[in-house]
Structure 1
Amino acid sequence: MSGNELPDDIEELKKRVIELHYKVIDQQGQLDDKASQITHLQDMVNLLQRKNYAPQSEIVSSDQLGIFNEVEEIAGLPTIDNEDDLEDEKDPKKPKKKKRARLPEHLPRKEIIIDLDEKDKVCIHDGARLEKIGEEISEKLEIIPAEVFVEKTIRYKYACPCCDEGMKTAPVPVSLLPKTMAAASLVAYIIISKFMDGLPLYRQETIFARIGAILTRQSMARWLIEVSQKLMPLYNLLQDELLARDYLNMDETTVQVLKEDGKKATSKSYMWVRYAAGTNPIVLYDYSPSRAGLVPIELLEGFKGYLQVDGYDGYSQVCKKNNLIRLGCMDHARRKFKEAFSTSGGKDIGKRGLVFFKALYKIEEKIEKMTSAEKKKVRQEQSKPILEEMKKWVDDKRSKVTPKSVGGKAVNYFYNEYPYLIGYLEDGRLNISNCGVENKIRPFAIGRKNWLFSTSVEGAQASAMFYSLIETAKANDLEPFD
């Protein structure tokens, strides 16, 4: 616009200046919004890259957190005495070379004696006969590949020589799978190989063929489904015992089922996991096509007490219906702040939040071997003030962060979950996090990477059965194959 195009009227000129001023403000606001979006998207890209390529560790090194001057802010926290306490877990140092562990004592020993020839048992200096003064012993671990053999059952038949009515045959032995060639030991081997060792049936088919046993994956799949149905009474007994407890952990993970009525082959279904820790722990897997809140209502029918879960809203219905005391997972909250710390926009929030969590987890380390009553006392005296201080800090930060930013998500997760996160303070038996059940899900997640999907609903249900029994056995220090 040239000077000649400007109006001569002063009021009109003022009006145009004001319009341009507000236009500049509006455009600057749009630029700020776009810059914020770009920062947020960059943070999300960095976060996804870290999740996909960085080591999956909960540890944040002291180099990452740094030693920063916030002592004045947290001087009121009873467990933080000086700046040294602000350090997070140390970076793992290179471990010292350890001596090779002795091979397990319970394994049978096959001795191989190596002796000198008779002509060598003579002293080279004076010709005297050498005397045995000791032994040099070394051990190596040997293995014999799986031995497959055919169990041939011969039942004798008897008849009366005087008539045709007296014929008798020895009874048929009880069989796990009648009218099949599968012995119980073979089925157990297939189950352990798939659900404990992560070997899909198509790989087992190849392995068996290599040692001369022709077993199709279709036959093995049918055997597993049939055996899982026979084990249902045992599962029901475990479930009755689990629901009689007063403290459960629960979580869910995805599973793909190819042939499922009303669903595409690529859609997600779910494995729900219930875990009762303590004496005689129990782990139960359950398949469901849905993640809706009606599933935990069905799975927890009759249960009363504490239910520890993550922040998924699907557990709200069952907690309300059964009048359960819901507990949160501090690990989940901590991960949110760790994610924020790894981004440029949320670094300060993440760093500050991790300091609080460090103090809380140090207390848990200290009280690990205490009685329940002692744990509760320490938590009330030391952990509770830290959580209250963190809540005040979060309340202040909520109005200063963008809700959809990584830092905003961390702050809001803690704010929304706070009533459940502090629940563990009330009973020394309770855990600070839901990591117990997450650890029970991990074997399933590892197996899923190998076998990828279940072909049918029946197959998914069979998987749930076998993971339940195997993980329960492992939790009780039992060998699943036995």
Structure 2
Amino acid sequence: MSATPLLSTVQQQALLEENEQLREEIKELKRLIFGSKRERFVPQVNTAQLSLELISSSSEPAVVVKQTISYERAVKQIAKKAIRGGFPTHLPRIDVILQPKEDVSGMRKIGEEITEELDLKPASLFVRRYIRPRYVSKEETFHIAVLPARPIEKGMPGAGLLSQIIADKFVSHLPFYRQAQRYEQLGMKIPASSLDGWFEGACALLEPLYQALRLHILASTYLQADETPIAVLDKQKKGDTHQGYHWVYYSPEERLVLFEYQPGRGKDGPAKLLKNYKGYLQTDGYVAYDQFETREDIVLVGCMAHARRYFEHALDNDKARAEKVLLWIQQLYAVEREAREKNLSTADRYLLRQQKARPVMDLLGEWLVAEHSKVLPKSAIGKAIYYLVARYNKIYLYLEDGRLEIDNNPVENAIRPVALGRKNYLFAGSHAGAQRAAIVYSLLGSCKLQGINAHDYLQDVLQRLPNQPINQLKELLPSFWKKINSSPQLQI
């Protein structure tokens, strides 16, 4: 009998790498199912190992000695907001005078006690009637007032109702059929199909404002970009939905956000939108953005948060290496936190980074050069190191300009309402419907970034848009609207 041939060294190495990759995939699945979703890194101390080392270090019995240890620690104080007797002054007051049961005639009032409670008057529908008397002159000519422009020509809903319908769906994430149930409880039966039609009409009115927002954001010199999926009903796919994408562009300086729907995740969408853009573009590592590396008028900036996630996932694979990098990254974010707490200008933030962040980034770069050849490329720590090596220079750029952020998290935060919406209304009814959603997400997302009440903004804008000159649309953008309007909000 002939002996079974042994595996070659190359085959053994391939099997080892495959085994390691499968192990990492199982760990990642367990982490996704059972692990913590937070990204904050807290170094772990092996107390069991520490106690063994202390025991073995001396054969003499331990002597218990009590020590008093004191230290100072900076603690962020969270101010408790008083509610009782401290309601905001902008809320209307309804006074209820309560007199004693006794006869107070002839008594002298020496003061009063005021007790406040917060209450709510449920939303109610009402009908606004425009009554226009008709007159006829002696010359037999008729005269009647002009009917004010309405959000939907010859439509039933007013600006307040339309703004409530839109805010309920895209802020409170209530599908139209749930809204229809609520309006029926208020005494008006409005089919969900009618609500959908009114929403479509409102979006047609908002379309020019959306285009003005698009031009304004693209005129900035620093954008962050990301994309998120959205399921879309497609007539060509019966019984199934199409996977579309909302591409999101955020201007940190303007605090405005733009959503644009594309049927796919290819590079054509951002290539078309950013055709004439010039400036910094901060993204994650998705390959669709690599096309801008050849553009001399666009500078790609990397995202440290994405690199950090790779090392956080690699803790179970190579704890020593992963912790070392995560501690460095933690120091970098401590610098950013200091800049925010001190409310530094872009110039001062640049100087702070040069002093405290650049040395850490340089140490990280030297370590990556030394370690990247010592790990398996397909292992979790190998993927983390190779990911950061490939994007190190792009991430390093945030040190060169105080305007730039260390990561892409602000644009990811702007995407969160889309994820919440997917859980409630599941999908868009059509590709056109997905773009209508992009219009609303852009305007309401910008309102959120500006601290504006979405309903107040929409009601005012929908009322003014029919008569707003096209060359003055910029005045209705959230950042400009905020300057001349105030929407105080109660925060508890």
| TM-score, with structure 1 as normaliser | 0.80
1:237 aligns with 2:218: no
* Cα distance between partner residues in 2 of 1:43 and 1:422: 31
Do the aligned partners of residues 324 and 159 (structure 1) sit closer, same or farther apart at CA in structure 2, a change above 3 Å counting? same
CA drift at 1:263: 9.5
Structure with the greater alpha carbon radius of gyration: 1
Do the aligned partners of residues 260 and 285 (structure 1) sit closer, same or farther apart at CA in structure 2, a change above 3 Å counting? farther
Q: Any conservation in 1 of the 2:183–2:189 contact (CA below 8 Å)?
A: yes
Corresponding residue for residue 366 of structure 1: 338
Secondary structure at the aligned position of 1:274 is classed as strand
Secondary structure at the aligned position of 2:201 is classed as helix
Q: Any conservation in 1 of the 2:21–2:378 contact (CA below 8 Å)?
A: no
Secondary structure at the aligned position of 2:398 is classed as helix
* Cα distance between partner residues in 2 of 1:98 and 1:230: 40
Do the aligned partners of residues 318 and 217 (structure 1) sit closer, same or farther apart at CA in structure 2, a change above 3 Å counting? farther
Spell out the pairing of 1:301-316 with structure 2 (5 A cutoff).
301-316=275-290
* Cα distance between partner residues in 2 of 1:386 and 1:135: 63
Q: Deviations over 1:424-448 (max 9, x none)?
A: 0111111111111111111222222
Residue 351 of structure 1: which of 320, 323, 341 is its match?
A: 323
Do the aligned partners of residues 217 and 138 (structure 1) sit closer, same or farther apart at CA in structure 2, a change above 3 Å counting? same
**Of the two structures, which has the highest relative contact order with CA contacts closer than 8 Å and spacing of 6 or more?**
2
Moved more, 148-157 or 463-472: 148-157
Q: Any conservation in 2 of the 1:253–1:270 contact (CA below 8 Å)?
A: yes
Q: Any conservation in 1 of the 2:222–2:280 contact (CA below 8 Å)?
A: yes
* Cα distance between partner residues in 2 of 1:220 and 1:425: 49
Q: Any conservation in 2 of the 1:293–1:318 contact (CA below 8 Å)?
A: no
* Cα distance between partner residues in 2 of 1:257 and 1:236: 23
Corresponding residue for residue 223 of structure 2: 248
1:213 aligns with 2:197: no
Residue 148 of structure 1: which of 118, 122, 125 is its match?
A: 125
Secondary structure at the aligned position of 2:241 is classed as coil
Corresponding residue for residue 82 of structure 1: none
* Cα distance between partner residues in 1 of 2:82 and 2:205: 47
CA drift at 1:415: 1.0
Q: Any conservation in 1 of the 2:21–2:379 contact (CA below 8 Å)?
A: no
AA partner of residue 46 (structure 1): K
AA partner of residue 396 (structure 1): A
What root-mean-square deviation, in Å, do the aligned CA atoms of Structure 1 and Structure 2 show?
3.4
CA drift at 1:309: 0.9
Corresponding residue for residue 387 of structure 1: 361
Secondary structure at the aligned position of 1:454 is classed as coil
Corresponding residue for residue 291 of structure 2: 317
Spell out the pairing of 1:284-299 with structure 2 (5 A cutoff).
284-299=258-273
1:41 aligns with 2:18: no
Corresponding residue for residue 327 of structure 1: 301
Moved more, 306-315 or 215-224: 215-224
Corresponding residue for residue 473 of structure 2: none
AA partner of residue 38 (structure 2): S
Do the aligned partners of residues 264 and 434 (structure 1) sit closer, same or farther apart at CA in structure 2, a change above 3 Å counting? farther
Equivalent residue pairs, number: 430
AA partner of residue 198 (structure 2): W
| TM-score, with structure 2 as normaliser | 0.78
CA drift at 1:260: 5.9
Moved more, 254-263 or 142-151: 254-263
Q: Deviations over 1:322-370 (max 9, x none)?
A: 63111111111111111222xx323333212211101111122223322
AA partner of residue 355 (structure 1): L
Corresponding residue for residue 378 of structure 1: 352
CA drift at 1:173: 2.6
Q: Percent identity?
A: 35
CA drift at 1:190: 0.4
Q: Any conservation in 1 of the 2:232–2:434 contact (CA below 8 Å)?
A: yes
Residue 58 of structure 1: which of 39, 42, 45 is its match?
A: 39
